[in-house]
Structures are given as C-alpha cells and as structure tokens.
Amino acid sequence: MAELIPGPSFFIGKGDDTDLISFGSGQPDLPPPPEAFDALKQYNGFKYGQIQGEESLRAKLAEEYPGAKPEHFVITNGASEAIDLVLRSISKSGGKILLPRPYYYSYPFVVGYAGMTAEYYDLGEGGKINYEQFADIAPGCRAVLINSPSNPTGTVQDIETLKKVEALCDRLGLYIISDEVYKDLIYDRENYLLHGKHVVTVNSFSKTYAMCGFRVGYLYSPDEDLVSKVVEMKNHTSMNTSVAAQVMALAALSVPASYVEKHVKIWKERRDMIYAGMLELGLELWKPEGAFYVLPKLKNSGRVVSDLYYKYRMISYDGAWFGAPDHVRFSYALDASKIQEGLRRLKKFLETDYRAY
C-alpha cells in the first residue's frame, strides 16, 4: 500500500502535468482580469508603502462596505496573514477561540501559534451552524470564527443564524472573525456581511479575482483599537504588503461586475456537474451553495487520497486535515472536461480499489 500523504503542502506545486487531475488546492484556474496585469506594467514605485496598506486601495474598499472608512482596513499578505495577525493581536494566555468543524485546515494551527486554544462547534446537516450548540460554547471564548461560504463544505450560513450569532457576540463582547474570502462566490443569494463593534471581516483578492499567487488580502473592522494593534504588529512582522500586489488589487477592484458574474456562472455549472456526478456514483454529500468545494463521505479517507494520487493520478484532500475524517475534499476549480475525466477515474476507483477496503 502506498504511503499516507501528510498534508496539503505535499501537493503544492504539483498538478500542472497533463495527465494529473488536481481537485486539490482551492484556487481558480480562470485568470485574473487583464487590467490587473496592465497596471503592473506601468508601475515604477519601489519604496516602502504604508504598513496599513495603500490609501487608494483602502479608500476603494471602503466604498464596498456600508459605513466603512479607509482607516478600518489593513491590507495583508492574503487572508492568512490577516487571520494570523488578528489572533496574535487579541491573544491572551488561556484564551479560547471557537472554530467551526469541519474547518479550513490552517485555523487550528494559527490559533496554536498565537498561544491560544481551539474549541469547536460542529456544523450540522448541510454544514449549517447548530445555533444552540454554538451559543452553549461561545460564552467561554475570546473570539468566534465564522466561515461562510465555507471551505471545505461550500455551505452558506442562513442569514437568520448569522444575525443570532451577531447578537450573541455583541452581548458577550466577543470578537467575531468572519472569514468571507468566498463572499463573491455564492450561487443563490447575496452575501450577508456580519456587523458589530468587534467584528473583523477577513477577505481576499485570491478567489474573487484569481490572484492567489500575488497574496493580497485584507481585514476590515470598525474596532479601531484592534486595527491599530494589528498595524503596529505588522510593522514589525512583515511591514507593508507588496506594493506590486496592491497595484494589481486596486486595478482588479475597478473592473466591471461582469468579470465576477461570469466566473460565478462557470463555478455554478461546475458545481452542478460535480454534485450530480457524485450523486450518480452513489456518494453522500452536501450540495455546496458557494465557494468551490464538495466534501463527500468516503471511509478511510487518508487511504483514498493516497490511492487516488498514486494509482489514479488525481489530487484530492483528506477530510481529516479539515476535522472531517472519512470525508474527502474535492475542489472543482478546474475545467469541466477535467472534472468529467476525474469523475470517470473516481468511478473506476470506487468499483475496484475502494470495494476492497
């Protein structure tokens, strides 16, 4: 039997071979708007930028958030750095951070790196928050993390539930870290922006504008004390986010809405294709309402991922990495023809190797 694969980083840089089909890394295959590259061609600055992020970019972002001001934003090296900086800034010895489960695989690590402890609320049927359970655990925590649409489930949380979460955290004085990096990739309704004095919205240009490699994300919060702590920390830990990436981000924000709409239409077609295809293979899974992941149940998920890679030339991610053992995550951010070929290989795997597990 092939060796178990230790984690997502094993696959980074793989997936460009012609015969390998990658349902692995969650990144768009469709390119960024050409305007983003064009802006780079004319750029000739080279000095340090503001630690908080370029004023022009923050001003443009503020237009997207009702009531927001440029000083409520910090531009970061992707959403990852935003979450890391927020956790480090609010860190208290013995502090607990409430995470959803399944979770994006980095959450437990960054909570630990910040010297705090992760607690979990389990997502129920369809990946929805069980509010009763959530409300039971939240009071002992320093912050709660909400991730809607979710990586790895694709679930979009109900607005009614999100409003209850807002009210509870406001009453308890808890920070809400709302990871909304997939906010523009929702199929059936608009995103609901969580509000509140201590809400930190984390977002990114990676998914909406296909700019993963450039690493530009941001946080938005009306909590000015928290924002200033984050900026002070970033001054020592990484300084300004790359000015080249910020130039691209500003250009991306200026493209017509049709750029994103076209992409969402494509994601939705792929979602329908992979969801129907997996149902047809007899797999049990939730129908994603946003982002670009499905998370079917598959026993011995570590072995599945290993076999799919070594025997079927397919990259998939073990649900165990996301707190969902016996599930496998498939990103459908790839061409329809590859999705179809992947489903064919998966069918063969299910009919042969998997039966023998």
Q: Give contact residues for a copy of itself (rule: CB under 8 A).
A: 8-9, 12-13, 25, 27, 31-32, 37, 40-41, 43-51, 55, 77-78, 80-81, 84, 88, 105-106, 109-110, 113, 115, 210-216, 231-233, 235-245, 248
Cis ω for the linkage preceding 149 (within 30 of 0): yes
Shortest Å, Cβ 53 to a copy of itself: 11
Return the number of the residue (10 or 354) whose C-beta is nearest a copy of itself: 10
Sorted by sequence, the CB contacts under 8 Å of residue 58 that are 6+ apart come out as: 52, 70, 71, 73, 75
Give the DSSP letter string of 217-265. EEEE-S-HHHHHHHHHHHHHHT-S--HHHHHHHHHHHTS-THHHHHHHH
Give the DSSP letter string of 54-80. -HHHHHHHHTTSTT--GGGEEEESHHH
Shortest Å, Cβ 113 to a copy of itself: 6
Shortest Å, Cβ 36 to a copy of itself: 9
d(CA 137, CA 144): 10
Return the number of the residue (252 or 298) whose C-beta is nearest a copy of itself: 252
Closest of 178, 232, 235 to residue 204, by C-alpha:
178
Shortest Å, Cβ 76 to a copy of itself: 8
Sorted by sequence, the CB contacts under 8 Å of residue 140 that are 6+ apart come out as: 96, 119
Return the number of the residue (9 or 337) whose C-beta is nearest a copy of itself: 9
HSE-CB for 117 with a 13 A CA cutoff: 7
Return the number of the residue (113 or 357) whose C-beta is nearest a copy of itself: 113
Return the number of the residue (248 or 315) whose C-beta is nearest a copy of itself: 248
The amino acid at residue 221 is S
Shortest Å, Cβ 262 to a copy of itself: 16
Shortest Å, Cβ 278 to a copy of itself: 25
Return the number of the residue (166 or 318) whose C-beta is nearest a copy of itself: 318
Shortest Å, Cβ 267 to a copy of itself: 17
Return the number of the residue (31 or 139) whose C-beta is nearest a copy of itself: 31
Tokens linked to 323: 């707190």
CA angle, residues 275, 281, 287, in degrees to nearest 5: 20
B/e letters for 332-353, b = 16+ CB within 10 Å, e = fewer, are bbbeeebbebbbebbeebeeee
Quote the longest CA-to-CA distance of the chain.
Answer: 60
Return the number of the residue (198 or 215) whose C-beta is nearest a copy of itself: 215
Shortest Å, Cβ 86 to a copy of itself: 12
Return the number of the residue (234 or 271) whose C-beta is nearest a copy of itself: 234
Shortest Å, Cβ 333 to a copy of itself: 10
In a 3-state reduction of DSSP, which class is residue 82? helix
d(CA 54, CA 47): 12
Tokens linked to 61: 């972002």
